[in-house]
Amino acid sequence: MLDLKLILRSVGISNINKTLKREKLIKNIQPKIIMSYLWFIGVDPLVQNRGIGSKMLQEIINFSNSSNRPIYLETSTVKNLPWYEKFGFEVYNEHDLTYHLYFFKRDVK
């Protein structure tokens, strides 16, 4: 139900089918395990490059490590790939839609 609310509010009715297919693809590729899932992370562009996103991501990593859970996420933003890799994430799958989608995971350390 939350996915549907998100789609209607941010994606729009004309893109519902495309978004639902993407979400189904993600659910089929992700392992069926207990995990932390980073659905979205972002920093206001006016205050980017000040370490705010890195601090947020480190908090998620700390929580996941203390909970003994790997972290999974997807991104299509190529400029963020090195940033996730810097924090120990690895690409475990890729898929071409109308854009390239990277599937990342970070094991418990």
Whose tokens are 């690895």? That residue is 90
Q: What are the tens digits of pLDDT across the range 47-95?
A: 999 999 999 999 999 999 999 999 999 999 999 999 999 999 999 999 9
* Cβ atoms 91, 75 nearer than 8 A: no
Query: Does the predicted TM-score (pTM) go above 0.85?
Result: no
Q: What are the tens digits of pLDDT across the range 9-47?
A: 776 777 777 878 888 999 999 999 999 999 889 999 999
Whole-angstrom Cα distance, residue 86 to residue 96? 24
| Residue 30 structure tokens | 């992700």
Domains of the chain: 1-30 (no CATH), 32-106 (3.40.630.30)
- CB-based contacts of 26: which residues, under 8 Å, 6+ apart? 74, 103
